[in-house]
Amino acid sequence: MDKEFRRQEGNVDGIGFLPGLAIDTVIFGFHDGQLKVLLLEYKNTALYALPGGFVHDDEDVNQAARRVLQSRTSLTNIYLEQFYVFGDLSRFDPSPLKAIMEARGYIPPAGHWLLKRFVSIGYYALVDFTKAIPAPDEISDTCNWYSLNELPVLMQDHRQIISKALQTLQRDLDQKLIGFNLMTEEFTMGDLQSLYETILNKKLIRAAFQRKMLSLGILERVAKKWTGGAHKAPYLYKFISDKTFVDNI
């Protein structure tokens, strides 16, 4: 336990990692009509943060992002997009990482690689909420879903990172048909419309939405949803699997 981070703590020069480069992932899930993101809470610091990590010097940057995602959600084949590089000088603030290390009883020497300026590559991921199993990393207490409209105070510029990810998701939604990655395996047209309305933050017209979605040729009608009464039970749909869009990077 804590082995990986302890190795990094003791590794004052950051041997084995690309210097100054971090990854932050905004992992979106959809549940109870709300868009949610996964956040970690760091031990003894009351700091909330996006799941993130560093890039090993023998792996691709995108691989590092997949590794972070898999370890925080237990999911592989997640829909993943690079969306922005956060590289402003003003975001340089070593104090949270220093606080995290100190809360663990480790006093980093001046010049420790984790206290230098980092440029962070932002990724967003879309996962099926019902399948992800959130798991904290070695230095965090909890890994939980938080609704976008009830976020705790986040460290550094992580709130801005989430905002930018959401903007990109809104832009990409229609164009790339990626919203389906947030759905459970079978869903009603109402579920899908609720997802779109939540992400886009506006009401859509039911008939037009249904017509548009069906015209895409990517949905297969499975069965009627059992609702107790036969009357007006909605249809369940699933994705035609060879038309899914997994891992675009």
Q: Which residues contact a second copy (rule: CB under 8 A)?
A: 18-21, 55, 57-62, 82, 84-85, 87-90, 117, 119, 121, 171, 175
CB of 203 to a second copy, least distance (A): 22
Pick the closer one to a second copy by CB: 139 or 161. 161
CB of 125 to a second copy, least distance (A): 16
Pick the closer one to a second copy by CB: 121 or 125. 121
Backbone angles phi, psi at 43, to 5 degrees: -55, 130
Pick the closer one to a second copy by CB: 43 or 176. 176
Distance CA 59, CA 118 (A): 18
Question: What is the distance of C-alpha 161 from the center of its chain?
Answer: 11
CB of 55 to a second copy, least distance (A): 7
| Length of the chain, in residues | 249
Q: Which residues pair with 159 in a beta bridge?
A: none
CB of 18 to a second copy, least distance (A): 5
191-209 in b/e form (b: 16+ CB < 10 A) is: bbbbbbebbeeeeeeeeeb
- Cβ pair 24, 161 in contact under 8 A: yes
Of 25, 3, 10, which Cα lies nearest the Cα of 81? 25
Pick the closer one to a second copy by CB: 117 or 206. 117
CB of 62 to a second copy, least distance (A): 7
Pick the closer one to a second copy by CB: 117 or 131. 117
CB of 177 to a second copy, least distance (A): 13
Of 96, 122, 106, 127, which Cα lies nearest the Cα of 30? 127
Pick the closer one to a second copy by CB: 88 or 220. 88
- Cβ pair 77, 131 in contact under 8 A: no
- Cβ pair 51, 158 in contact under 8 A: no
Pick the closer one to a second copy by CB: 87 or 234. 87
CB of 83 to a second copy, least distance (A): 9
Helix (H) or strand (E) holding 35: strand 34-42
- Hey, what are 5's tokens? 């981070």
- Hey, what are 39's tokens? 């956040």
Distance CA 51, CA 239 (A): 29
